[in-house]
Structure 1
């Protein structure tokens, strides 16, 4: 018989509300077994389901199935992963890279899996999940026929689970670089060394949107490898890709050459300084993209982050020519949608411009945001037009 975890009333209510996490403080009677699957019960002995148990983590239990004593065997992983893959049907027609598993958003807490053409990159982010590494890899190989699977288990979050930070090959072989095609644009992903699992896949559809409306003189701030700039270049007359990293800009230039674009130039500069200097110089742009890194990595950093977000958006609004377009985004989880919109409203009011909200954007279908699990959603985006 499997080990049982008894949770407090607050923990039971959290599960009933649709959130899969139980924190250590709400585990009334912890399991006696090592990391793995346990049965969850409330204080009255009523079964609540099956969870992944992480003895060292603040998030001690992650519910994966409402059925108590459900074996997490090979058949279970095959079925659960099949559900996740089915909701991505059709994505490969538009992009050779996308997310196959988005953790809690797909009912697979702490598991991330991204496809890059014929290869997969996974992240196993909890001790409870690690206990099923073999079954997970076998199921992924059976479903996808991947030529190789790489684990990018180098995230700091694993330290909280008392797991090693490592990048390790789990099956087959995975190249150092993989060419990705998305909506007609090609770029190189770096699964072994790149950001996240090798590239930023969560802004894929937003890049396509911006590429469809871009015009005139365009500016891509925080450009990194030029992912937005490449899409801008398809319609804009000229694109400036701005980043503080010369190494990133070198890759951006390589990506531009890969697509045959000759209308992209790169600038190594701090975006805050560059926008301020361009405003003072009276520069004008027809299309601007602001896709900064997360300014608010903790709740305590939010006030400072809000000031930073407002400043870059205010300056971008002032730099736009009449009728110009701004796509602006935040990947800070702690900056909620209401706060994001409030920040944009404040920036618009201070800019002295008439700013029209054309479209609100979020995450693509392969990064599902579950309403009862706010941690599954972090991308906020808006397409704005300066009317005068």
Structure 2
């Protein structure tokens, strides 16, 4: 086994359990290691740190899979997936769930989403991509799935020296499926939908609007395929308007409304939500409830401040569109903007909008996307409900 020895001075995070080893933390490498191969990592004093996969083309040179001297083979991946499934079963996430959430499940750079009997995989690092056949084999043994598809059309793969790609990892199947969530049904486009086709992480948060939606006039911005808005209609909203810039997303959102027989309450339009929020707040339009679920505004640390400015702007506009005593339902999925910074931004937006705010709910993602303390990237979703009143 090739041996990777770390510098004397490295970040404490590795000893504390973080699986990433950056290239500048490596002192020397004893032996030869091809990109994607398994290596042993040792601290400067020759104490064993862990075993993981190596890629000199990546800023993250090693991602640790285990802290034990255990063999990394097909059985290893079978056992890890079995453990992750047992956890989801215990906490009640079985029909649709994130089965593997990367580092949180000790499987760095691997995402597996389960939609009924269909599975969607992302292998976003070379060392994990090497084991894709073992991962597919384990899924077939544990679940006997109706289909497995890879959505590796993600730019991060190029940083690992890999191509973007997507396609069947099983016999071909109809990739337009319908899933159940909170008593509702939703179309999932596995091939063309964002990420793996559907955002499972907001499942529990969509239930949190049940009480405040009743009888409300609702505006939703950045709706994607309309899941929050359709929940609002289901929970008794008087009227719901959803906005998204994507014509395809809006078409699917309207199909979802029809699927649930809520299209008489819920309607979606394709338009730039940023412009609508700005213009409509100036025009004095008013709603009882405004929901904001924008995409990540940044994926790099250099643009964090720009992202915070963007989040502040849309939340300020959202507050101005609310009747006195209305509710703002707002989210951020940028893991680089941590919860404290998100709440500070909301506070600044309220002050600039001359509004008083009262926190109703503040949550993270659903528990099938577990948060592991010390792994910042696992604590990425912020979901907030506020009552907004005039000063």
Q: Which of the five TM-score ranges fits, normalised by the shorter chain? A: over 0.9
- Contact 1:97–1:117 at 8 Å: present in 2 too? yes
Q: How many angstroms apart in 2 are the aligned matches of 1:285 and 1:88?
A: 38
Partner of 1:316 in structure 2? Answer: 318
Cα 1:98–1:91 change in 2 (3 A) is farther
Deviation at 1:91, TM superposition (A): 6.7
In the alignment, what sits opposite 2:16? 17
Post-superposition offset of 1:58: 1.1
Determine if the alignment matches structure 1 residue 44 to structure 2 residue 28: no
Q: Determine if contact 1:110/1:124 at 8 Å carries over to the other structure.
A: yes
- Bigger shift: 151-160 or 315-324? 315-324
The 5 Å alignment of 1:230-245 reads: 230-234=230-234, 235-245=236-246
Q: Secondary structure at the match of 2:5?
A: strand
Q: Indicate the SS of the match to 1:98.
A: strand
Q: Distance in 1 between matches of 2:115 and 2:50?
A: 34
> For residue 350 of structure 2, what is the aligned residue in structure 1?
348
Q: Greater shift after overlay, 170-179 or 376-385?
A: 170-179
Report the TM-score when normalising by structure 2. 0.94
Structure 1 residues not aligned, in runs of 5+: none
Shift of 1:174: 3.5
Post-superposition offset of 1:165: 1.0
CA distance in 1, matches of 2:61, 2:251: 43
Secondary structure of 1:206's counterpart equals: helix
8 Å CA contact 1:223–1:241 kept in 2: the answer is yes
Q: Normalized against structure 1, the TM-score is what?
A: 0.95
1:27 and 2:26 aligned: yes
Alignment of 1:11-160 (within 5 A): 11=10, 13-30=12-29, 32-34=32-34, 35-68=36-69, 70-89=70-89, 96-160=95-159
* Alignment correspondent of 1:219: 219
Conserved? CA contact 1:224–1:245, under 8 Å: yes
* 1:246 CA displacement: 2.0
The alignment yields a C-alpha RMSD, in angstroms, of: 1.7
- Write the distance in 2 (CA, Å) between the matches of 1:232 and 1:10: 53
Partners of 2:257 and 2:267 within 8 A in 1: no
| Range 143-152 or range 234-243, more displaced | 143-152
Check conservation: 2:118, 2:145, Cα contact below 8 A. Answer: yes
Aligned to 2:255: 254
Question: Structure 2, unaligned stretches of length 5 or more?
Answer: none
Q: Distance in 1 between matches of 2:54 and 2:282?
A: 56
Cα offsets for 1:196-217 (capped at 9, x unmatched): 0111111121112124431310
* CA offsets 1:176-234 (integer angstroms, 9 cap, x no match): 21101110111111111110011111112111212443131001100111111111111
- Distance in 2 separating the partners of 1:190 and 1:224: 12
SS of residue in 1 equivalent to 2:33: coil
Deviation at 1:242, TM superposition (A): 0.7
- Once residues 92 and 117 of structure 2 are traced to their aligned partners in structure 1, the CA distance between those partners, rounded to angstroms, is 11
CA contact under 8 A between 1:101 and 1:112: conserved in structure 2? yes
